[in-house]
Amino acid sequence: MEITKHLLMNLSLLLVLLFFTQLIIERQTKEKSRTMLQKSYFILSILTCFIFSIEAQEGIRFDLRHVPMILGSLYTGHSFLLAGVTILMRGFMGINDGFWTSAGLYIILAFLLIWIHSWFSRLSLNQRVGVSILLTLMTSFVLIELIGFVNEPINHPEAWISFLIIPALTSGLISYSIETIRQSLLIRQKLAKADKIEAVSHLSAAISHEVRNPLTTVKGFLQLLGEQSYPEEKKQEFIQIAVQELERAEEVINDYLTFARPALEKVEDIDVEKEMNQVLNVLNPLANLNGVKIKRKYSPGLKISGDRSKFQQGFINLIKNGLEAMPDGGELTVQTFNTGHVVHILVRDTGIGMTEEQMARLGEPYYTTKGQQGTGLGMMVTFSIIRAMKGKVEIKSQPGKGTTFHIRFNITNDRYKNGNPSE
């Protein structure tokens, strides 16, 4: 039973090594790194089998070294490398008749495996597993016959049964595991590709819809100007509406480009108080129109690093949403403070609020909470800008009670006053 125990230990160790190798491979994004790790697994497996080999009788040691050599050659194509490692390891156990017999067998096997590697790759999953088991079983039989020819015949039935069945079982398990892992990886890659295609199609549909509407309006007014005689005052009105619609289309395209290329054009120190005041001054007419009172609570001297124009664009979109969420009036609070090396910007409104589902989807390129009036691009652009500036966004909201956006940025220097007001 000792031979069986040691061979089963070899099997267990090879499976454990495969498990940990797969954990590392899944973290790799480059195909070259994955191939290198897979090759390393088979080399390490050969070494492990030698370390945990067992002496069946005087001068004869059993292990599963030929299993990783065969499977590694079939799946990676590096037959001569793996054969060389196997022969080298055998050399450390002594240069004798057994060494030369093993070396000859593994060299012949390497030529055979490199020859059938391309054919093996074209087989189906079940066929590859079957071929792996058959080659391992044949190699085990040839090895045990050569051992009996060079040394003494092996008279233990357990040795024969264990050395024929356990390697074949090991080969089948490892081959099936490798195939399952490869299939799982392919499925994940296809799903990721499908998700990207779906996102692009949604985004394209949203952009197409939002650009087509103003262009259709412009086309209609231009046709009216060309077909009938209107008073000069009416023509000017048509032209003004057409220009406004073209500006809206331009705004949609700019939002899309900002999302598609979120990288900052230039990085500079941003005075948070100054830029937030500029944003609120731009939006003050909309606040007055909606009857919204704006409160400003600033900690002085806070600065962050980023693109000033994109910072303004992002917060204009965000605060504009807050103002539009209070059509019957309310209160909008903009608050800044810092804790340690982090600048906090709070934008709190008393508007209609959002549900959990709405918050989860906020920022998707084709999603808006404004119905037909929204493009679904404003918050997408805002989130993209904040991410590009290494910021983080946290949203708290309840229907009918308003929404709070909590944005965090790293401070560019720490010569500021600390402030941590209660939220």
Q: 335 or 91: which carries more pLDDT confidence?
A: 335
Under the banding of pLDDT at 50, 70 and 90, the label for residue 28 is confident
Work out whether the CA dihedral 227, 232, 235, 239 comes out positive or negative: positive
pLDDT value of residue 145: 78
pLDDT value of residue 407: 94
- Measured distance CA(356)–CA(371) in Å, rounded: 18
What's the CATH fold of domain 204-260?
Answer: Helix Hairpins (1.10.287)
Q: How large is the average pLDDT for residues 197-212?
A: 68
Work out whether the CA dihedral 256, 257, 260, 261 comes out positive or negative: negative
Task: Specify the CATH superfamily of domain 268-410.
Answer: Histidine kinase-like ATPase, C-terminal domain (3.30.565.10)
Residues in CB range of 123: below 8 A, 6 or more apart: 131
What's the mean per-residue pLDDT of the chain? 80
pLDDT value of residue 86: 87
Q: How large is the average pLDDT for residues 315-340?
A: 90
Q: Phi first, then psi: what are they for 271, rounded to 5°?
A: -80, 110
Q: Among 292, 299, 306, which Cα is nearest to 418's? A: 299
Q: What percent of the chain has pLDDT over 70?
A: 81
Domain boundaries, the chain: 2-193, 204-260, 268-410
Q: Residue 345's beta-bridge partner residues?
A: 336, 407
Residues 255-288: pLDDT tens digits? 666 666 555 667 888 999 999 998 898 888 888 8
Got the DSSP string for 118-137?
A: HHHHTS-HHHHHHHHHHHHH
- Measured distance CA(301)–CA(52) in Å, rounded: 67
Least reliable range by pLDDT among 111-125, 251-265, 331-345:
251-265
Q: How large is the average pLDDT for residues 210-221?
A: 76
- What's the distance, Cα to Cα, between the start and end of the chain in Å? 70
Q: 149 or 417: which carries more pLDDT confidence?
A: 149
Dihedral angle computed from the Cα positions of residues 296, 302, 304 and 308, in that order, rounded to the nearest 10 degrees: 50
3 state DSSP class of 408 = strand
pLDDT value of residue 107: 92
Q: Phi first, then psi: what are they for 335, rounded to 5°?
A: -130, 135
Question: What CATH number belongs to 2-193?
Answer: 1.10.1760
What is the 3-state secondary structure of 74-102?
A: HHHCCHHHHHHHHHHHHHCCCCCHHHHHH
- Measured distance CA(264)–CA(388) in Å, rounded: 7
pLDDT value of residue 179: 87
Q: What percent of the chain has pLDDT over 90?
A: 16
Residues 363-420: pLDDT tens digits? 665 455 554 444 556 777 788 888 888 899 999 988 888 999 999 998 755 444 444 4
CB atoms within 10 A of CB 90: 22
Beta strand 330-339 pairing with 292-297: parallel
pLDDT at 97 over 70: yes
